[in-house]
Chain A
């Protein structure tokens, strides 16, 4: 088969071209109808790989270049001459393969996010020395003190009681130096935080919400669980992987980049933190059973926090009082979507686990 293809021929070393008809001969030579260029064998030219419908270029040994858009004919000629066409292009053109790719990417991404990133991150976290945890959030408490917290209003006696209880709950044989500090929670309200260096922050509002001392103890165990399982460190590593993965897939989308990366990251991150909550719950549950605390205290406390945490300090007494009689009246009005973004999704599932262990 002899093929005739029209295109632009760049003969000289200038930007000037002229229309030419390339003749692709049956025996594997390329020549032109209107120039004195000698026929050149296929083995001596460089034919660019086919990319979509873009024009292909054929570069000759002397630097001349032929540019033509008739990709199908050139491919057919290449096949005739015993050459293979671009496997990438064949891949890109095959509908079944594209469909399979699509499904495969979706599955791989899900698997990566669900198992891959957590497994690799936790492996790395295990290899890092214990001191690393403390450096991550160094200055976190100071920042919170600056912006959110106010000094505690709890009496020294009350603080001392809780502190002694905390020291008995904290694991002894460990490099981590566990300690508890009290703050007034500001707009955060009733909450507790674990810093990676072993400091647990408890707000006055949380203390006020506890009716039974064991309720507070159960939350302290939960926070100790965060430290024991090195959640902050694992979180940081997981988030870094996630950011790199999103960047790799979405690629360079100018300007929209950050926002585009932010949303899926936030969703996955909250899934990760729910996983960590469950792990801390496990820790708290097992330890409570070990030292003979009733797990139902955790459930009771969680329910009360869910109901009362949004309310201001002055309504706390009513909230705590009303606990006994209207347990069903949960504060569902506080907006469902907020719970998805909350770090402590005090949902029915978590509470039920502790109730069942009762």
Chain B
């Protein structure tokens, strides 16, 4: 049929392990039909069918991902997913109400969401792994909820501690008294502003560490049948990715700033802005702003492509599941180009190209991923209990994705 089958038999007859490429066999036309039926039935059933649509979509993508002649299987139960979705809609509605009518309570809601985050990570990972199958063996995630809180305690605690320290230091500094003097009527508003700035400043140095801890937590607690996963990356690997991304971002922003200054200077916009009368000046400026926004978006896609490709690579290349190894060689530029062209395609087609976009994304990712099985015979299936889909759906609606 294809080279996948040949490879498979090669692997099982020879003792020498061979790196096998992932293949994605889906095609856009076929998936378009599945997608459009899903969309129609979801609309007609007022969203209820979306649970079945999800299972069908996942089954399509899992089933078309083939390595060593065997495909993956998704075994999620639509009814469980529906229950999870119903709960998620309620939570979403609560957040919406809070956001629009009780903005004062947002901070509390934010805290509650943070506290629930480890729970959602465990619940959603458990559901996804339990329902992922390859070669008649299920994946499994055996972390207890408490483990997640323990694992996240240090990085989150560090962020809280740093924020507090910085805030105290700021309060005692001359800057605070200076600001107090300037902004007498709105001290409260300002201090809230300052608090968020400090929070972000304090969080940034720990984001790579948080990402590392999250992925290590997931991989260390996952199993493929009887084979336990272990994560071999160290935190520094993640810091290297983010540091390079940081340097890249600021380098590009600096270049863009210089280009903007040169363009504005050559148009003489600066002078006209000062006199403030010329209509053409305002229009040229508007056009320039639009152009800058477009360029920024384009650059943003490539930065995102860089970051996502490196994070996936560093994660996959450090996963060991018993005798199984993964190898990922995603390229930042290729991924950025995919993000950019995908977005343009979706915009121009009013969403009709969504299936094509998802297919080519899956195809690219599969083509850059390899798999090595040193010994398949040693892996045995393990009985496991059923999982509810609540965490999975909560994670979906709030866009929690740990990227595995």
- Residues of chain A touching chain B, judged by Cβ–Cβ distance below 8 Å, are 8, 10, 13-19, 48-49, 51-55, 57, 63-65, 67, 69, 88, 91-93, 97-98, 101-102, 104-105, 108-109, 132, 135-136, 138, 142, 236, 240, 248-256, 259-260, 263-264, 310-312, 314-315, 333-335, 338
3 nearest A-B pairs in the assembled complex, by CB-CB distance: A54-B63, A10-B136, A256-B343
Minimal Cβ-Cβ distance residue in B for A135? B101
CB distance from A137 to the nearest CB of B (A): 10
A51-B59, A335-B283 known; A101 vs B37 contact (CB < 8 Å): yes
B18 interface residue per 8 A CB criterion: no
Question: Is A248's CB under 8 angstroms from B276's CB?
Answer: no
Question: Is A92's CB under 8 angstroms from B34's CB?
Answer: yes
**Distance, CA A63 to CA B103, complexed state (A):** 54
Query: Could you say which of A104, A236, A250, A312 contacts B276, with CB atoms under 8 Å apart?
Result: A312
Question: Is A53's CB under 8 angstroms from B30's CB?
Answer: yes
Question: Is A15's CB under 8 angstroms from B60's CB?
Answer: no
The segment out of B39-47, B174-182, B255-263 that lies at the interface is B39-47
Question: Is A93's CB under 8 angstroms from B33's CB?
Answer: yes
Question: Is A8's CB under 8 angstroms from B69's CB?
Answer: yes
- B378 cross-chain contacts in A, Cβ below 8 A: 14
- A108 cross-chain contacts in B, Cβ below 8 A: 43-44
Minimal Cβ-Cβ distance residue in A for B287? A335
**Distance, CA A261 to CA B32, complexed state (A):** 20
Question: Is B60's CB under 8 angstroms from A17's CB?
Answer: no
**Distance, CA A314 to CA B71, complexed state (A):** 73
Question: Is A14's CB under 8 angstroms from B304's CB?
Answer: no
Question: Is A16's CB under 8 angstroms from B69's CB?
Answer: no
CB distance from B99 to the nearest CB of A (A): 9
**Distance, CA A101 to CA B38, complexed state (A):** 10
CB distance from B151 to the nearest CB of A (A): 25
**Most chain A beta-carbon neighbours within 10 Å: one of B63, B102, B377, B380:** B63
**Distance, CA A259 to CA B344, complexed state (A):** 10
- B343 cross-chain contacts in A, Cβ below 8 A: 256, 259-260
B7 interface residue per 8 A CB criterion: no
**Distance, CA A49 to CA B62, complexed state (A):** 14
Query: Could you say which of A67, A138, A256 contacts B346, with CB atoms under 8 Å apart?
Result: A256
Question: Is B380's CB under 8 angstroms from A52's CB?
Answer: no
- A315 cross-chain contacts in B, Cβ below 8 A: 277
The segment out of B199-207, B238-246, B347-355 that lies at the interface is B347-355
Minimal Cβ-Cβ distance residue in B for A97? B37
Question: Is A57's CB under 8 angstroms from B73's CB?
Answer: yes
**Most chain A beta-carbon neighbours within 10 Å: one of B304, B343, B396:** B343
**Distance, CA A93 to CA B30, complexed state (A):** 8
Contact with A along B6-43 (1 / 0, CB 8 A): 00010010000000000001100011011011011011
Question: Is B358's CB under 8 angstroms from A17's CB?
Answer: no
Query: How many residue-residue contacts, CB under 8 A, span A and B?
Result: 153
Query: Could you say which of A14, A102, A335 contacts B380, with CB atoms under 8 Å apart?
Result: A14
- B308 cross-chain contacts in A, Cβ below 8 A: 255
- The B interface is mostly helix, strand or loop, or mixed, namely helix
- Residues of chain B touching chain A, judged by Cβ–Cβ distance below 8 Å, are 1, 9, 12, 25-26, 30-31, 33-34, 36-37, 39-40, 42-44, 47, 50, 56, 59-60, 62-64, 69-71, 73, 96, 100-103, 134-137, 186, 189, 224-225, 276-277, 279, 282-283, 286, 297, 301, 304, 308, 339, 342-343, 346-347, 350-351, 354, 357-358, 361, 376-381, 396, 401
**Distance, CA A184 to CA B63, complexed state (A):** 63
Question: Is A255's CB under 8 angstroms from B63's CB?
Answer: no
- A314 cross-chain contacts in B, Cβ below 8 A: 277
CB distance from A284 to the nearest CB of B (A): 28
Question: Is A52's CB under 8 angstroms from B64's CB?
Answer: yes
Question: Is A312's CB under 8 angstroms from B277's CB?
Answer: yes
Question: Is A264's CB under 8 angstroms from B9's CB?
Answer: no
Minimal Cβ-Cβ distance residue in B for A240? B96
Question: Is A52's CB under 8 angstroms from B31's CB?
Answer: yes
Question: Is A51's CB under 8 angstroms from B36's CB?
Answer: no
CB distance from B47 to the nearest CB of A (A): 7
Minimal Cβ-Cβ distance residue in B for A246? B351
**Distance, CA A142 to CA B224, complexed state (A):** 57
**Distance, CA A245 to CA B42, complexed state (A):** 11
30 A-B contacts, Cβ less than 8 Å apart? A8-B70, A10-B135, A13-B380, A14-B376, A15-B377, A16-B12, A17-B135, A17-B136, A48-B59, A48-B73, A51-B56, A52-B31, A52-B34, A52-B60, A65-B136, A67-B136, A98-B36, A105-B40, A105-B43, A108-B44, A142-B186, A249-B351, A251-B354, A254-B401, A255-B301, A256-B346, A256-B357, A260-B351, A335-B286, A338-B286
Question: Is B101's CB under 8 angstroms from A14's CB?
Answer: no
- A338 cross-chain contacts in B, Cβ below 8 A: 286
Question: Is A311's CB under 8 angstroms from B30's CB?
Answer: no
Question: Is B381's CB under 8 angstroms from A13's CB?
Answer: yes
**Distance, CA A98 to CA B136, complexed state (A):** 34
A105-B43, A236-B100, A252-B396 known; A311 vs B279 contact (CB < 8 Å): yes
Query: Could you say which of B1, B30, B103, B339 contacts A52, with CB atoms under 8 Å apart?
Result: B30
**Distance, CA A17 to CA B69, complexed state (A):** 10
- B47 cross-chain contacts in A, Cβ below 8 A: 248
A53-B30, A136-B100 known; A253 vs B40 contact (CB < 8 Å): no
Minimal Cβ-Cβ distance residue in A for B279? A310
**Distance, CA A10 to CA B136, complexed state (A):** 7
- B37 cross-chain contacts in A, Cβ below 8 A: 88, 91-92, 97-98, 101
CB distance from B98 to the nearest CB of A (A): 12
**Distance, CA A63 to CA B135, complexed state (A):** 12
Question: Is A51's CB under 8 angstroms from B377's CB?
Answer: no
Minimal Cβ-Cβ distance residue in B for A11? B136
Minimal Cβ-Cβ distance residue in A for B278? A312
Question: Is B379's CB under 8 angstroms from A51's CB?
Answer: no
A312-B276, A314-B277 known; A15 vs B354 contact (CB < 8 Å): no
Query: Could you say which of A8, A54, A259 contacts B59, with CB atoms under 8 Å apart?
Result: A54
Question: Is A101's CB under 8 angstroms from B59's CB?
Answer: no
- A67 cross-chain contacts in B, Cβ below 8 A: 70-71, 136
